[in-house]
Amino acid sequence: MSGTLMEALGIQIKEVSDEGVTATMPVDGRTRQPFGILHGGASVALAETAASIGAYHFIDQDNEICVGLEINANHLKAKKDGMVTARAVPFHRGRTTMVWDIRITDEEEQLICISRCTMAVVKKK
Protein backbone atom coordinates (compact mmCIF):
# COMPACT_ATOMS: atom_id res chain seq x y z
CA MET A 1 0.00 0.00 0.00
CA SER A 2 1.49 3.25 -1.17
CA GLY A 3 2.64 5.73 1.45
CA THR A 4 2.38 3.29 4.37
CA LEU A 5 4.72 1.46 6.71
CA MET A 6 3.98 -1.64 4.64
CA GLU A 7 5.56 0.04 1.62
CA ALA A 8 8.52 1.37 3.61
CA LEU A 9 9.35 -2.09 5.00
CA GLY A 10 8.54 -4.03 1.82
CA ILE A 11 5.69 -6.01 3.42
CA GLN A 12 3.63 -7.99 0.91
CA ILE A 13 0.28 -9.66 1.66
CA LYS A 14 0.27 -13.10 0.02
CA GLU A 15 -3.00 -14.61 1.23
CA VAL A 16 -6.13 -13.56 3.13
CA SER A 17 -8.84 -16.06 4.06
CA ASP A 18 -11.12 -17.04 6.93
CA GLU A 19 -8.27 -19.26 8.16
CA GLY A 20 -5.74 -16.44 8.39
CA VAL A 21 -3.26 -14.15 6.67
CA THR A 22 0.16 -14.77 5.14
CA ALA A 23 2.54 -11.84 4.64
CA THR A 24 6.24 -11.55 3.77
CA MET A 25 8.94 -9.01 4.52
CA PRO A 26 12.55 -8.79 3.30
CA VAL A 27 15.42 -8.72 5.75
CA ASP A 28 17.52 -5.91 4.28
CA GLY A 29 18.67 -2.38 5.04
CA ARG A 30 15.09 -1.27 5.71
CA THR A 31 14.45 -3.90 8.36
CA ARG A 32 17.84 -4.53 10.02
CA GLN A 33 19.00 -3.02 13.30
CA PRO A 34 22.52 -1.49 13.62
CA PHE A 35 24.11 -4.88 14.42
CA GLY A 36 23.05 -6.27 11.05
CA ILE A 37 20.16 -8.52 12.10
CA LEU A 38 16.39 -8.29 11.74
CA HIS A 39 15.06 -5.49 13.95
CA GLY A 40 12.54 -6.68 16.53
CA GLY A 41 10.40 -3.66 15.78
CA ALA A 42 10.22 -4.68 12.12
CA SER A 43 9.05 -8.15 13.17
CA VAL A 44 6.39 -6.56 15.37
CA ALA A 45 5.30 -4.30 12.50
CA LEU A 46 4.96 -7.36 10.25
CA ALA A 47 3.00 -9.23 12.93
CA GLU A 48 0.58 -6.35 13.57
CA THR A 49 0.14 -5.79 9.84
CA ALA A 50 -0.86 -9.42 9.32
CA ALA A 51 -3.28 -9.31 12.28
CA SER A 52 -4.74 -6.00 11.09
CA ILE A 53 -5.37 -7.30 7.57
CA GLY A 54 -6.94 -10.41 9.07
CA ALA A 55 -9.22 -8.43 11.36
CA TYR A 56 -10.21 -6.13 8.50
CA HIS A 57 -11.27 -9.21 6.52
CA PHE A 58 -13.90 -10.04 9.17
CA ILE A 59 -15.36 -6.63 10.06
CA ASP A 60 -18.17 -4.62 8.46
CA GLN A 61 -15.80 -2.54 6.32
CA ASP A 62 -18.44 0.08 5.52
CA ASN A 63 -19.16 0.88 9.18
CA GLU A 64 -16.16 -0.29 11.24
CA ILE A 65 -12.39 0.01 11.43
CA CYS A 66 -9.89 -2.11 13.33
CA VAL A 67 -6.86 -0.89 15.26
CA GLY A 68 -4.15 -2.55 17.29
CA LEU A 69 -4.96 -2.61 21.00
CA GLU A 70 -2.05 -4.71 22.33
CA ILE A 71 0.83 -6.69 20.88
CA ASN A 72 3.63 -8.77 22.35
CA ALA A 73 6.45 -10.66 20.71
CA ASN A 74 9.21 -13.09 21.55
CA HIS A 75 12.19 -12.89 19.21
CA LEU A 76 13.59 -16.41 19.06
CA LYS A 77 16.21 -16.46 16.32
CA ALA A 78 18.37 -13.86 14.58
CA LYS A 79 18.08 -13.37 10.82
CA LYS A 80 20.65 -11.43 8.73
CA ASP A 81 19.14 -11.45 5.25
CA GLY A 82 16.59 -13.11 3.03
CA MET A 83 12.84 -13.16 3.63
CA VAL A 84 10.57 -13.79 6.59
CA THR A 85 6.97 -14.95 6.42
CA ALA A 86 4.25 -14.17 8.94
CA ARG A 87 1.24 -16.43 9.34
CA ALA A 88 -1.55 -14.86 11.40
CA VAL A 89 -4.39 -17.05 12.68
CA PRO A 90 -7.38 -15.82 14.71
CA PHE A 91 -7.66 -17.14 18.29
CA HIS A 92 -10.81 -15.14 19.07
CA ARG A 93 -13.19 -13.22 16.80
CA GLY A 94 -15.55 -11.12 18.91
CA ARG A 95 -17.73 -8.14 18.07
CA THR A 96 -15.35 -5.59 19.63
CA THR A 97 -12.03 -7.43 19.92
CA MET A 98 -10.08 -10.06 18.03
CA VAL A 99 -6.99 -11.90 19.22
CA TRP A 100 -4.48 -13.18 16.67
CA ASP A 101 -1.55 -15.60 16.89
CA ILE A 102 1.30 -14.69 14.54
CA ARG A 103 4.29 -16.87 13.79
CA ILE A 104 7.18 -15.49 11.75
CA THR A 105 9.44 -18.01 10.04
CA ASP A 106 12.39 -17.93 7.64
CA GLU A 107 12.81 -19.71 4.30
CA GLU A 108 13.62 -22.99 6.09
CA GLU A 109 10.46 -22.73 8.26
CA GLN A 110 12.59 -21.98 11.34
CA LEU A 111 10.70 -19.93 13.91
CA ILE A 112 12.06 -16.37 14.12
CA CYS A 113 9.37 -14.69 16.23
CA ILE A 114 6.05 -15.49 17.89
CA SER A 115 3.53 -12.78 18.61
CA ARG A 116 0.01 -12.25 19.92
CA CYS A 117 -1.96 -9.20 18.83
CA THR A 118 -5.30 -7.93 20.12
CA MET A 119 -7.28 -5.85 17.65
CA ALA A 120 -10.07 -3.45 18.64
CA VAL A 121 -13.09 -3.15 16.35
CA VAL A 122 -14.64 0.32 16.48
CA LYS A 123 -17.41 2.13 14.65
CA LYS A 124 -16.40 4.62 11.97
CA LYS A 125 -17.10 8.22 12.97
Q: d(Cα 5, Cα 11) in Å, to the nearest integer?
A: 8
pTM of the model: 0.97
Catalytic residue among 48, 64, 107, 108: 48
- Within 10 angstroms of residue 69's Cβ, the number of other Cβ atoms is 15
Indicate if the pLDDT at residue 1 is higher than 80. no
Residue 19 falls in the annotated catalytic set: no
Q: Could you give the 3-state DSSP secondary structure of residue 33?
A: coil
Task: Provide the Cα torsion 108, 109, 115, 117; round to 10°.
Answer: 120
Q: Could you give the 3-state DSSP secondary structure of residue 40?
A: helix
Query: pLDDT (tens digit, 9 = 90+) per residue, 2-33?
Result: 899 999 999 999 999 999 999 999 999 999 99
Return the pLDDT at 125.
Answer: 83
Query: pLDDT (tens digit, 9 = 90+) per residue, 47-103?
Result: 999 999 999 999 999 999 999 999 999 999 999 999 999 999 999 999 999 999 999
Q: Which domains does the chain have, with CATH numbers?
A: 5-123 (3.10.129.10)
Return the pLDDT at 92.
Answer: 97
